[in-house]
A and B are shown apart, each in its own frame.
Chain A
Amino acid sequence: MEYTFEQILKQLPEISEKIKESREVILANLIMLGEIAAPTFQEARRINFLTDRFSEVGLLNSSVDEVGNGVGILDGEENEDNILIVAHADTVFSEKVDHTLTVEPNRVWGPGVADNSLGLAVVASLPTLLERLNIKLNNNLILMGATRSLGRGNLEGLRFFLSNNKLPIKAGVCVEGAQLGRLSHVSIGMLRGEITCTVPEEYDWTRFGDASAILTINEVINKINDIPLPKRPRTSIVLGSIEGGASFNAIATSANLRFEIRSESSEMVEEIGSRMEEIVAEVTSKTGDEINLDIFARREPGGIKFSHPLARKTRLIMEKQDIQPRLAPSTSELAAFIDKNIPAITLGISKGDNLHEVKENIEIEPLFEGVTQLIGTILAIDGGHCE
């Protein structure tokens, strides 16, 4: 089926109504996927459920690849080109956390429900939703739950797929549970790492007062704060988490700091990365403590332009649905597409709260518009309106 872009815009209210009628499909997938714990590198059970879902609805090519990604292909009528819809399957919660979700009339809450169980549930529901909407695409729709995305995973799942699969991909859409309105089309340069400090176990009176891993990390932080950051290109250093010590009265023998350097310029990212190395070397020589710097994730800045048809048409779809587009650069899956020069965007599905906390939640009502915008965007890409 081929629609003009105006026809697609006109269909949106009707699509939204039908999505509302299919509320249980999305919520049931959200519950069943979301209650399977999937910390990064341990996504296998969640992915198995996803591929079972793909097989149940009759996707012929449903499989798990070498790095554990779950992939299903909904064949298009012309079968020549491919659109990749991807949601990362991993969450920040360990298997030990109780993954029970609670469904209330207006919202669903529980660990990982927004990031990214909802995104994955929408990918799992797409074949059923498209069938109910009687939508048949010209291009193949590759549906994917990507593994090893967060933290040390460094987007390994999607990167592996894009490097190894033989299918030409004309565009990609990354689906995130929250927030509705998110529209990312550029990735910023990024470097992510961890600084770990260890001091010897034995109590040393000669160093009374300063033999603490926390003090050493504090010294590192002070020096990071002294790094001058330019206004242009926009650059920031995020100190994301800090851990150290065990008790009130025992000297902390280990501490670690997790950080991310972000910048519009890859040179700036590299420069600050080098400064970090110097800081670590300097503090090590001063204190004699063992300090390690481990850089485990990088992104190159890039992406499609604001005026690229994919970004522009998606904005028009969102505006038609009264969704206020919030343009924010991304460091997520989008970066893997950018590295391969594939036009791609990231969309959010619903409103969410308490992200990455046990009481994480998403609202039910807004997700109907969120899914509608995704289907509208798929139709626009499929109809060739985004090239």
Chain B
Amino acid sequence: MNNNNIQKWLKNNTYHHSEFWDLKEMVKQKEQKELTISLCLPTLNEEKTIGKEVVLFKSELMNRYPLLDEIAVIDSGSEDKTREVARTFGADVYLANEILPNLEEKKGKGENLWKAIYQLKGDIIIYVDADIKNIHPRFAYGLVAPLIYRPEVQYVKAFYDRPLAVSDEVRPSGGGRVTEILIRPLFSLFFPELTAIIQPLSGEYAVRRKVLERIPFPIGYGVETSHLIDVYSKYGLGAFAQTDLDQRVHRNQPTRALGRMAFGLMQTFFNRAKSLGLIENMTEFETVLRQYQVKKDNYEQLTFDIKEDERPPMIEIPEYREKYNID
């Protein structure tokens, strides 16, 4: 099941950022369609990287090519100079708890992303994490391009793979440890089509406001996973696209931190699966695990039928009973 749909989607909705090199044309299309675009950088103590992100996006995607209408930093209350640095280089800086001040205060990245919908004015919001060391304008234009060119696309995810393919060799393609060990197996069980999203946990995505305003936001680890399930349930796989942004250099998390992350993700996941009735109504589990590989520029699905068959206790086997004289 779903194999054709997934393969078709991979072919039509998976991009490499280099396909969108023509920024002049992109700006023209954006203007023709009268779209406004906001860039949101959620921060918590990112003074080392935020300056560079603001300088690059402002110079390249506001001044040189007017693709972005605003660049906003939504800060969770950094104790370093994050807000000062961002302001120095010309970003609009907001403290998350000063947006919608009458609501109960919550703290987390998801909170900043959610409040951005209220604070920012764009028809499209691009979210880019502020801890990227090798930041480049492609992190924004690569994500927003499918939304500009294809009205049916609602949600564009980033994935990070490699520079343009140079060899014919097949190699595995996928996400980090939590994605491959937890999320893709869970999606294979409950939402097989969503396995086609190469990096479901990446923190960079661009989304139309009319979608963002209609989905809930977990404020902790689960925001990306819940978005995928909710948008998929409402609009189907065709609403997604994904763009390969080459490499992303950031801090590596220790295994224990990944354990905490996985725990948070499972809470979000099972809440969603339960409310969609997937757990109670499931008569049989899916047995196909879906992983991905890439050959040249084509992503293809690898399916493994993994049936966890089992044997009964030995004592129930007549031959055994006979051999050991068990009545």
Contacts and interface: CB of A to CB of B under 8 A. Distances in A.
A28 B64 CA distance: 11
Contacts of A32: 56, 136
B51 A24 contact: no
A20 to B, nearest CB: 13
B60 A104 contact: no
Contacts of A35: 134
Contact of A102 (B48, B56, B84): B48
A102 B81 CA distance: 14
A32 B55 CA distance: 11
Chain A to chain B: the 7 pairs with minimum beta-carbon distance, closest first: A28-B59, A103-B51, A24-B59, A103-B52, A105-B88, A27-B55, A100-B133
Contact of A105 (B84, B133, B136): B84
Contact of A25 (B52, B59, B134, B136): B59
14 contacts: A24-B89, A25-B59, A25-B63, A25-B64, A28-B55, A28-B56, A32-B136, A35-B134, A100-B249, A103-B55, A104-B85, A105-B81, A105-B84, A105-B89
Contacts of B51: 102-105
B52 A31 contact: yes
B291 to A, nearest CB: 31
A104 to B, nearest CB: 6
A100 B249 CA distance: 10
Contacts, number: 46
Contacts of A25: 59, 63-64
Interface residues of A, number: 15
Interface in B121-162: 133-134, 136
B88 A102 contact: no
B90 interface: yes
A101 interface: yes
Size category of the binding interface on chain B: 20 to 34
Given A100-B133, A100-B249, A105-B88, A24 B58 contact: yes
Contacts of B58: 24, 28
Given A100-B133, A104-B85, A27 B59 contact: yes
Given A104-B85, A105-B84, A105-B85, A31 B55 contact: yes
Interface string A48-86: 000000001000000000000000000000000000000
A175 B105 CA distance: 53
Interface in A4-49: 24-25, 27-28, 31-32, 35
Contacts of B249: 100
A103 B90 CA distance: 13
Interface in A98-139: 100-105, 128
Given A25-B59, A102-B49, 11 more contacts: A24-B58, A24-B89, A25-B63, A27-B59, A28-B55, A28-B56, A56-B64, A102-B48, A103-B52, A103-B55, A104-B51
Interface string B24-67: 00000000000000000000000111011001101110011000
A27 B58 CA distance: 11
Interface in A340-368: none
B92 to A, nearest CB: 15
Interface in A154-196: none
B241 to A, nearest CB: 26
B85 A24 contact: no
A56 B84 CA distance: 32
Nearest to B88: A105
A100 B88 CA distance: 21
Contacts of B136: 32
Contacts of B88: 105
Given A24-B90, A32-B136, A35-B134, A102 B63 contact: no
A35 B134 CA distance: 8
Among B48, B55, B89, chain A packs the most CB atoms within 10 A around the CB of: B55
Contacts of B90: 24
Contacts of A56: 64
Nearest to B84: A105
